[in-house]
């Protein structure tokens, strides 16, 4: 019975190294006529079609001649409950949270509402070619159950957690240091490591967490060190001033988290715009990861991300791209790469197409300490794959006729492409979406 054997043929692209360190040409591997052999949801072999066709045996072949196969995209920071409030007009971070976010998130006390939004969100992730994400739920444990149930049904590799917030929010959205700890622990026991699901301890950000709550979050992480820890940092200047007034004893924003033990491997910090040199150094040295959220940062007027410092070859840190929906304006990682390029340009940094695609695939996987499982097309990797239609609109098709090489083609895709470019998505080797 060959039911678990599958093969995908077509041009494919993957990364064999970090282009920020080795250069784009060395890091990027393009196979113009590739063959990817999949067994039991895992890539068994990948390479040139002619060289590998002898291994085909009983594999059933899906052939995508006029497309580009990529590792499924990875979104390292997104809020599924905010799917229903993308594009809320006219505010910067703190007002936006109070006026829109904290109103919307109250609806997730209703498990039925959470289940339907979670399912819609995951469908939209697949439509955008995203197969893994680090996801914020709401303060309600049922919002986490709903999300993991939906993700588990689709066999997606997903990271998520219950938001911890015990102050500076409506009473209906707050927990306490103790209840937040207890609820999170129960969720870790229920979900962490179940199939492809992982738990992230999720203190929302320093202004919505008391010192006792950050202490409890750190104690929980110490008890379950294989779990993730995700939060926001240095997104907005007013937020910075607020953190300074709430935590006057700490030297800087990161120091608030570091003081409690909330930095290190599998810590994921969203935004990281307004950082001091000491914070960059600590992030890199502790093995923490940063999520750059370009569409969100421009939508909320938060500021410009410093690519040069983040990926300084002398001290590079683990960096991934992220949509940050609903402050982000799209779930498409192509759109997010295009926005990252434009943000870079404003700071006189021209993000190359190879680096942008890296930050949405292998780089993001490295940020999440998952580079041995996802983010590349190579033997042993879980077969989460995206098939891109490189001619998804008449204008893109016309423009593509004038592309001379793969890097130009990638740049046109990230500048003009969106979810219409998703031709097919495979999750653990199974076709999960196609047009
Ligand atoms: N900081 C704290 N919470 C949030 C949130 O939901 N979105 C964004 N963009 N920043 C935050
Ligand atoms: Zn966020």
Whether ligand 1 lies within 6 angstroms of the CB of 77 is answered as no
E-strand spans in 272-409? 289-292, 318-321, 385-388
Whether ligand 1 lies within 6 angstroms of the CB of 142 is answered as no
CB atoms within 10 A of CB 428: 20
* Cα 270 to middle of ligand 2, angstroms: 6
As a three-state string, the secondary structure of 62-127 is EECCCCEEEECEEEEEEEHHHHHHCCCCCCCHHHHHHHHHHHHHHHHHCHHHHHHHHHHHHHHHHH
* Cα 274 to middle of ligand 1, angstroms: 15
Ligand 1: which atom is nearest the Cα of residue 205? 2
Which ligand sits nearest to residue 323's alpha carbon?
2
Whether ligand 1 lies within 6 angstroms of the CB of 235 is answered as yes
Question: Smallest Cα–Cα separation from 229: which of 239, 237, 241, 217?
Answer: 217
CB proximity list for 221: less than 8 A, separation 6 or greater: 201, 227, 229, 261, 262
How does pLDDT run along the chain (435 residues), one tens digit per residue?
Answer: 455 799 999 999 999 999 999 999 999 999 999 999 999 999 999 999 999 999 998 888 999 998 999 999 999 999 999 999 999 999 999 999 999 999 999 999 999 999 999 999 999 999 999 999 999 999 999 999 999 999 999 999 999 999 999 999 999 999 999 999 999 999 999 999 999 999 999 999 999 999 999 999 999 999 999 999 999 999 999 999 999 999 999 999 999 999 999 999 999 999 999 999 999 999 999 999 999 999 999 999 999 999 999 999 999 999 999 999 999 999 999 999 999 999 999 999 999 999 999 999 999 999 999 999 999 999 999 999 999 999 999 999 999 999 999 999 999 999 999 999 999 999 999 999 999
Whether ligand 1 lies within 6 angstroms of the CB of 157 is answered as no
pLDDT at 2: 53
Residue nearest to atom 7 of ligand 1 (CA): 327
Phi, psi of 344 (to 5 degrees): -55, -45
* Cα 337 to middle of ligand 1, angstroms: 20
- Cα separation, 95 vs 239, whole angstroms: 11
Whether ligand 1 lies within 6 angstroms of the CB of 240 is answered as no
- Residue the block writes with tokens 């998505």: 425
* Domains of the chain, first to last: 5-71+375-434 (2.30.40.10), 73-367 (3.20.20.140)
pLDDT at 58: 80
Element (H, E) at 411: helix 406-416
pLDDT at 60: 87
Whether ligand 1 lies within 6 angstroms of the CB of 204 is answered as yes
* First-to-last C-alpha distance (Å) of the chain: 28
Structure tokens at 389: 């239609």
What's the number of CA atoms in the CB half-sphere (13 Å) around residue 360? Answer: 33
Ligand 1: which atom is nearest the Cα of residue 328? 9
68-71 and 385-388 strand pairing: antiparallel
- Cα separation, 230 vs 412, whole angstroms: 32
Which of 86, 203, 204, 269 should be mutated for ligand 1, with most atoms under 8 A from CB?
A: 204
pLDDT at 1: 45
Strand partners, 6: 38, 60
Which ligand sits nearest to residue 230's alpha carbon?
2
Between CA 241 and CA 169, with CA 138 as vertex, the angle to 5 degrees is 40
Strand partners, 229: 201, 267
- Residue the block writes with tokens 């780089």: 363
Between CA 73 and CA 76, with CA 74 as vertex, the angle to 5 degrees is 155
Whether ligand 1 lies within 6 angstroms of the CB of 96 is answered as no
CB proximity list for 199: less than 8 A, separation 6 or greater: 159, 160, 161, 184, 187, 188, 191, 192, 224, 227, 228
What would the DSSP string read from start to end of 126-151? Answer: HHTTEEEEEEE--SSHHHHHHHHHHH
- Cα separation, 299 vs 89, whole angstroms: 9
- Cα separation, 425 vs 207, whole angstroms: 39
- Cα separation, 385 vs 55, whole angstroms: 20
Angle at which helix 211-223 crosses helix 253-260, to 10 degrees, equals 50
- Cα separation, 107 vs 117, whole angstroms: 10
Phi, psi of 224 (to 5 degrees): -125, 70
Structure tokens at 208: 């919505």
Which 8-state DSSP code applies to residue 169?
Answer: S
């Amino acid at each position: 019975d060959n039911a678990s054997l599958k093969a995908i043929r077509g041009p494919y692209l993957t990364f064999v190294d970090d282009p920020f360190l080795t250069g784009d040409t060395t890091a990027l591997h393009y196979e113009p006529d590739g063959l990817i052999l999949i067994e039991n949801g895992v890539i068994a072999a990948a390479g040139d079609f002619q060289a590998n066709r002898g291994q085909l045996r009983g594999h059933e072949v899906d052939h995508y001649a006029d497309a580009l196969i990529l590792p499924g995209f990875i979104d390292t920071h997104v809020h599924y409950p905010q799917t229903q409030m993308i594009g809320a007009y006219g505010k910067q971070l703190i007002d936006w949270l109070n006026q829109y976010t904290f109103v919307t998130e109250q609806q997730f006390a209703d498990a039925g509402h959470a289940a339907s939004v979670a399912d819609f969100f995951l469908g939209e992730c697949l439509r955008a070619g995203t197969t893994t994400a680090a996801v914020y739920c709401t303060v309600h444990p049922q919002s986490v159950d709903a999300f993991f149930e939906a993700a588990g049904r689709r066999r997606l590799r997903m990271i998520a957690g219950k938001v911890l917030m015990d102050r500076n929010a409506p009473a209906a959205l707050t927990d306490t240091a103790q209840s937040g700890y207890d609820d999170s622990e129960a969720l870790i026991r229920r979900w962490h490591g179940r199939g492809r699901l992982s738990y992230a301890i999720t203190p929302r950000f320093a202004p919505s967490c008391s010192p006792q709550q950050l202490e409890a979050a750190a104690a929980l992480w110490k008890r379950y060190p294989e779990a993730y820890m995700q939060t926001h940092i240095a997104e907005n200047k007013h937020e910075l001033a607020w953190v300074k007034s709430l935590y006057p004893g700490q030297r800087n924003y990161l120091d608030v988290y570091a003081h409690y033990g909330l930095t290190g491997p599998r810590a994921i910090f969203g935004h990281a715009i307004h950082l001091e040199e000491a914070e960059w150094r600590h992030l890199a040295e502790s093995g923490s990861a940063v999520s750059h959220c370009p569409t969100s940062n421009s939508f909320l007027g938060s500021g410009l991300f410093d690519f040069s410092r983040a990926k300084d070859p002398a001290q590079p840190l683990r960096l991934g791209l992220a949509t940050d929906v609903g402050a982000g304006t799209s779930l498409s990682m192509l759109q997010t790469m295009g926005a990252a390029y434009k943000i870079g340009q404003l700071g006189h940094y021209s993000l190359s197409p190879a680096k942008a695609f890296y930050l949405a695939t292998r780089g993001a996987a490295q940020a999440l300490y998952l580079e041995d499982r996802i983010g590349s097309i190579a033997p042993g990797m879980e077969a989460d794959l995206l098939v891109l239609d490189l001619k998804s609109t008449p204008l893109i098709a016309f423009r593509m006729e004038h592309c001379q090489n793969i890097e130009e083609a990638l740049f046109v895709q990230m500048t003009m492409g969106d979810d219409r470019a998703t031709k097919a998505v495979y999750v653990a080797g199974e076709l999960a979406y196609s047009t």
